[in-house]
Amino acid sequence: MKYHDGKDRCSWANPKNQIYIDYHDKEWGVPVYDDHKLFEMLILESFQAGLSWECVLNKREAFREAFDDFDVYKVSAYDEEKQAQLKENKGIIKNQRKISAAVSNATIFMKIQEQYGTFSEYLWKFTDHKIIHETGKTSSELSDQISKDLKKRGMKFVGTTIIYSYLQAVGVVESHEEGCFLHHKE
Residues belonging to the active site: 23, 45, 53
H or E element, residue 142: helix 141-152
Distance CA 100, CA 156 (A): 9
Query: Which H or E element spans position 105?
Result: helix 96-116
Distance CA 74, CA 186 (A): 41
Q: Which of 49, 42, 45, 48 is nearest to 76 (CA)?
A: 42
